[in-house]
Amino acid sequence: MRAADGITPAHARAAFLRACRLDVETAKPGNVSVESAGHGMTSAQFIESATVAADALFSRGAAIGPRILDAVTLTRARVACNTNLGIVLLVAPLAAALESTPAPRDAAAWQRATEAALAALDIDDARAAYRAIALANPGGLGDAPEQTVHAEPTVSLREAMALAAARDSIARQYAEGFRDVFEIHDAAAHEWPRETRPGVVTLDVYLTYLSRWPDSHIVRKHGETVAQSVTREAQRQHAQWRIARDKTRGAEDGIAANALARWDAELKARGINPGTSADLTVATLFVAGVLDDVGPVAGA
């Protein structure tokens, strides 16, 4: 992996917007895409949300909590629905940490800076993030009986997230220094050649997340049993998709694509949206876009 020296705010912002664009340009089972709207939302709303949130997320020198609150406030004013709370919660610490990542800016250095940024979170960050979560109204993201987002926090944002980490994958990133995001980025960077189509890498990353553990958004909306069944099906679909990719050496496989399209329609008909897996995918693509700017997920 090439070390990413000379990262500018404009470069980071562009990598974020590229990641958000890939998220909706790639058809992912259960998620809104250019090819398939769903859950009362369209791909255009996600692109608009990314555009307005970017200014807040990449406001140089801003604290993490205010980045989160400003990004969500701007998003709600533009699209009037929760399109990107999870993305904002994930990208804000990464964007802030990037500003203090020493050269050479590789994944390990960025992860260490992220851990330091998370350790420095305070109660003011928690207050701002709580306001953002309440404004987005996602149905309990980061909420815990000890530190409900509907009351004033009494601990730092990281401490509050740690209380929810066992049941929420985004909260776990705060508790564990974004270990999952950096590990899956590294695995994808090593596995996929640079010439691989960006959509292939995007779908692989998404199915990897969806296959590893129950999607937090599904758990909140439909319960653990449904979420576990989606995870099992994701494992099966991912395995079949990878076999097809190996046979075709990365080219599009019609049978595999049709199977995923059928599953997408089924999930949307049941109102099941693996939104947390998509949010984690965007964060991973953002990391890849910054560190591997000529790599497989860098272009559209």
Separation of alpha carbons 212 and 4, rounded Å? 29
Cβ neighbors of 259 (< 8 A, separation 6 or more) are: 237, 240, 241
Phi/psi for 70 (5° steps) reads: -65, -40
Give the residue from 188, 94, 183, 84 showing the smallest Cα distance to 138. 84
Mean per-residue pLDDT pooled into runs of 10, the chain (300 residues):
60 95 96 90 94 96 98 95 95 97 89 98 97 79 55 92 94 98 95 85 97 96 97 96 76 74 96 97 97 50
Separation of alpha carbons 189 and 110, rounded Å? 16
| pLDDT of amino acid 247 | 73
Q: Which domains, and CATH codes, for the chain?
A: 9-291 (1.10.4200.10)
| pLDDT of amino acid 146 | 55
| Token code pair at residue 160 | 């509050």
Are residues 160 and 179 in contact, defined by beta-carbon separation less than 8 angstroms?
Answer: no
